[in-house]
A and B are shown apart, each in its own frame.
Chain A
Amino acid sequence: MRRIPSWIWPVLVALFILALSRVVKNEYYMFAGYVVLQYIVLASAWNILGGYSGYVNFGSAAFFGIGAYGAVVLDKLWQPPLVVAIVFGGIVASLVGLVTAYLTLRLRGVFFAIATLALAIVLQTLVMNWDFVGGPLGYYSVRPDSIAGFPSYVNYLFVIMLGLALIAVLVARAIELSFIGRGLAAIRDNELAAECCGVPTLRLKVFATMVSGGLMGMAGAPFPYYITYLDPNSAFSLAYGINSIAMPLIGGMTHWIGPVIGAVLLAVIQQVATVTISSELNLMIVGVLLISFITLAPNGIVGLFERYRQKRQRRLST
């Protein structure tokens, strides 16, 4: 009997959620679910570079904000369909990724980390000074009333983000299992040795940054329509930066399912905390979880699970 290919599982889960979104009438679940899905995209995208190759990108907010403001620019010019805005956001974000990566990744990885951290802050400044997209006052985007075939616009956004999450997970998985993923893993373990074995390290790193940044930009493009009022502080919020690092670290960075687990877990906790406690405490929770996981369980939840499985196997074999 042929084995069922494992990429079928994410697709099935996505189809199941799609079916569920047709049944559930409460709009709040769409609203909250959108954020969870958005974080699945960000975390999976971050993990392509950060998890597989070990280069830390602090600037998820930058790439996400590029996508969001790219959509705003298009919206002001000719209001294209959302899919066009998503592709545009993805292309611009991956080009920014290309330049940043090329300039900094030739040197030590630390420089890349610092540059991405600064990138988020600088882009925020630039947008603040750019009157075309509203500057510090922000931008109100007008949602179309409804889209044919969808019960509401929020539902439409939810389905779009579901599709993006599926794409992100499948891309991450495909990279992980291909020669690119093996090359990135070799870079993570020992870059010098990888280079000596003929792994094109710089090209792989730049490629991973472009894919990762592009996916983040795509996740940002629907955002102006989701919150309807976009200002630089919410588009470039450092919360994206810390969340998209914390989620893969907590879930586990070496397997594509890790970021998904981390994203679902953290995003749900934060959604609950925002409603019940306060939004500042959110970041506190993420920060504390991040610190405790990297010190106590460096391989995340997936790592804990694998350790448990190995232990059990050893017990069974003796």
Chain B
Amino acid sequence: MVTFNLLINAVVTGILLGGFYAAVTIGVTIAFGMLDIVNIAHPVFIIMGSFVAYIVNRHFGFDPILTVIVAAPLFFLLGIAIFRFYYAAFESSGKGSLRGLAFFFGIMFVIEVTLLLAFGVDYRLVQTSYIGPNIGFAHIDLPLRMVVPFVGSMALVSGLYIFFGHTFIGRAIMAVAQDEFALSLMAVDTVAVKQLAFGVAIATAGIAGGFLIVIQPVDPSLGREYIGRVFAICVLGGLGSITGTVIAALILGVVETITSTIFGPSWAPAVSFAALLLTLAIRPSGIMGR
């Protein structure tokens, strides 16, 4: 029996989860929505972030979220390296999307198997003070392990919102997303701008990985569950819109938790697929699509 109380709790947990999903998806919004690079390996970079947090936490006891924020520049550089390779091999020659897709699919497998060989199939977790206790008011229980990633995710997304709307470089990236050819006529090095944006996208994946391992234990193949989810959110939000991504992430988070409250948690992954197909069938341009 699903009581009202249970439902309220599910909604609140769903909002917290959705906030985290926004941080997970924002990198895809940048890469896929703005740069048109279908980085299906994105979830695997998130898992990499989780493992960085895990290693540092286990050996030095550092906070996982602070760790990934410090490690974000490394992910940024990794993103730039991958973009350079991708650009040289596929985009510059103009023969495109099929090979690019297969390329990222290959990257996904290589990273996943590397993690698998290095760490095995066990679930890994981190120790911090905010994993475990709840804060509660009225009839609602808020586990801190959800609240902290939610706050962190919102900070990350708001930071990116300001970055894209109000800084010179951020607006340059938006311009590339809008019309790359026109920008190249203004003597702008569009490749450099895209490279930077892709670096930012991968950096957000690393940070999201820190949030992920706070929320749940992580194993190398967990990323697969997130592929459908991130792209469903990205498409539902309307490719390339940060506001849309946040709204879509919150919707999906709430629907997922309600589904798992009523039908059981193993049904949750089906929600994102249904959302993806419904969006494509009814409104392919998404919530905030142009």
Contacts and interface: CB of A to CB of B under 8 A. Distances in A.
B276 A114 contact: yes
Contact of B110 (A113, A128, A291): A291
A238 B228 CA distance: 14
Nearest to A188: B98
A228 to B, nearest CB: 24
Contacts, number: 120
Interface residues of A, number: 41
Contact of A125 (B108, B232, B266, B277): B266
Contact of A118 (B97, B106, B272): B272
Interface stretch (A66-74, A78-86, A196-204, A280-288): A280-288
Interface stretch (A16-24, A50-58, A145-153, A255-263): A50-58
A284 B220 CA distance: 14
B148 interface: no
B224 A249 contact: no
Given A121-B225, A287-B109, A103 B38 contact: no
B113 A121 contact: no
B232 A118 contact: yes
B93 to A, nearest CB: 9
Contacts of A54: 98
Contact of A114 (B85, B224, B231): B231
Interface string A22-66: 000000000000000000000000000010001110100000000
A22 to B, nearest CB: 38
A125 B89 contact: no
Given A121-B224, A125-B267, A294 B106 contact: yes
Interface in B85-113: 85, 89, 95, 97-99, 101-103, 105-110, 112-113
A145 B105 CA distance: 41
A235 interface: no
Interface in A89-128: 103-104, 107, 109-111, 113-115, 117-119, 121-122, 125-126, 128
B114 interface: yes
B246 interface: no
A122 B268 CA distance: 10
Contacts of B284: 107, 111
A274 interface: no
A129 interface: yes
A291 B113 contact: no
B117 A56 contact: no
B192 interface: no
Contacts of B143: none
B142 interface: no
B228 A122 contact: yes
Given A50-B98, A103-B280, A125-B270, A111 B235 contact: yes
A286 B110 CA distance: 9
> What band does the interface of chain B fall in when counting residues whose beta carbon is under 8 Å from A?
35 or more
Contacts of B224: 121, 238
A248 to B, nearest CB: 10
A295 interface: yes
A298 interface: yes
A288 B110 contact: yes
B116 interface: yes
A103 B106 CA distance: 26
Contacts of A211: none
Interface in A226-272: 238, 241-242, 245-246, 249
Contact of B273 (A118, A242, A281, A290): A118
A109 to B, nearest CB: 7
Contacts of B140: none
Residue of B99, B108, B114, B272 most packed against chain A (CB within 10 A): B99
A290 B102 contact: yes
Given A284-B109, A290-B102, A115 B280 contact: yes
A118 B40 CA distance: 11
A122 B95 CA distance: 31
A286 B107 CA distance: 11
Given A56-B102, A284-B117, A290-B109, 15 more contacts: A50-B98, A58-B40, A107-B280, A107-B284, A111-B280, A113-B101, A114-B227, A114-B235, A117-B228, A118-B232, A242-B106, A249-B102, A283-B112, A284-B113, A291-B103
5 contacts: A103-B277, A122-B273, A125-B267, A294-B99, A294-B106
